[in-house]
């Protein structure tokens, strides 16, 4: 049907659904009127970056005005920022799995209540690269955890629930084809490793704690590379799992900084 699905029977029993961290709700806002024609959602960590992206899309789509005064739809909340440019929604998600997970739960419910169809969601962000040229763009085919496994593990009521992290392969190939029109940014498809921590979790030697040697770090990163990992960030497994379960055509592409 192309509809965005929620997998929660309890929502049907609720008189009102409040999207706390987006400052939106089913009684306070006409969500179908506000968002029913959204076709693309782009999410990224920084609110400033997502505002700049919305302004860029405003210009690219030739919308009225210069886009400089694009409004934050979530201005009543200081958790996330949301901007709109025609059929494109641009939303910040903060850093790490907990932050993006909260935003995605509420975003998916928003798209469901708005009766959106055939929505594509793309995570755009920065990452650390592995064995690739600085400035490259990595399009994720599969998000993997710190053991290089394609899974997202979450503890629910004391039990470990494991969910798949496969992303849309056709969308990845489509994005790769589009990237060939922009020769300034070398682009490749690869696996993205998602960690729970920026410092020790990613093998950095400059955190407040470091429990391993530089040799151990290099050996781990070599194993990651051999497992197909080409970049490292902190959101992709939760992103892939939630999008896949709720019928969103999802993809993650990261600009490699290091």
Q: Is 191 annotated as a binding residue?
A: no
Q: Is 201 annotated as a binding residue?
A: no
Domain end residue (candidates: 118, 138, 158): 118
Please write the tens of the pLDDT for every residue from 2-30.
788 899 999 999 999 999 999 999 999 99
Range of the domain at 35: 1-118
Confidence of residue 258 (pLDDT cuts 50, 70, 90): very low
Nearest to 103 by CA among 182, 43, 179: 43
| 114 and 129 co-located in one domain | no
* Residues 4, 112 contacting (CB under 8 angstroms): yes
Q: Is 244 annotated as a binding residue?
A: no
| 107 and 157 co-located in one domain | no
| 143 and 251 co-located in one domain | yes
Q: Count how many residues are written for the chain.
A: 258
Q: Is 222 annotated as a binding residue?
A: no
Query: Judging by DSSP bridges, how do beta strands 137-144 and 151-156 pair with one another?
Result: unpaired
- Number of domains within the chain: 2
| 131 and 252 co-located in one domain | yes
| 113 and 129 co-located in one domain | no
Q: Is 47 annotated as a binding residue?
A: no
* Residues 67, 58 contacting (CB under 8 angstroms): yes
The predicted model scores a pTM of 0.93
Please write the tens of the pLDDT for every residue from 196-233.
999 999 999 999 999 999 999 999 999 999 999 999 99
């Amino acid at each position: 049907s192309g509809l965005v699905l929620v997998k929660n029977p309890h929502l049907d029993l609720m008189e009102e659904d409040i999207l706390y961290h987006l400052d939106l709700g089913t009684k306070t806002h006409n969500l179908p009127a506000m968002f029913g024609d959204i076709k693309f959602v782009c999410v990224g960590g920084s609110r400033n970056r997502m505002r700049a992206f919305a302004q860029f899309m405003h210009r690219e789509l030739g919308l009225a005005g210069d886009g400089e005064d694009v409004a934050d739809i979530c201005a009543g909340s200081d958790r996330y920022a949301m901007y709109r440019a025609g059929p494109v929604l641009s939303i910040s998600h903060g850093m790490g799995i907990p932050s993006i997970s909260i935003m995605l739960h509420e975003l998916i419910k928003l798209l469901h209540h708005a009766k959106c169809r055939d929505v594509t969601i793309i995570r755009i962000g920065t990452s650390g690269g592995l064995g690739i040229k600085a400035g490259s763009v990595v399009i994720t085919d599969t998000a993997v955890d710190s053991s290089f496994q394609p899974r997202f593990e979450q503890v629910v009521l004391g039990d470990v629930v494991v969910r798949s992290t496969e992303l849309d392969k056709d969308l990845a190939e489509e994005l790769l084809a589009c990237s060939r029109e922009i020769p300034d940014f070398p682009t490749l498809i690869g696996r993205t490793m998602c960690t729970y921590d920026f410092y020790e979790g990613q093998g950095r030697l400059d955190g407040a704690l470091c429990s391993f040697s530089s040799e151990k770090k290099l050996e781990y990163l070599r194993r990651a590379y051999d497992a197909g990992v080409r970049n490292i960030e902190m959101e992709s497994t939760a992103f892939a799992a939630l999008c896949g379960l709720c019928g969103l055509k999802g993809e993650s592409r990261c600009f490699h900084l290091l």
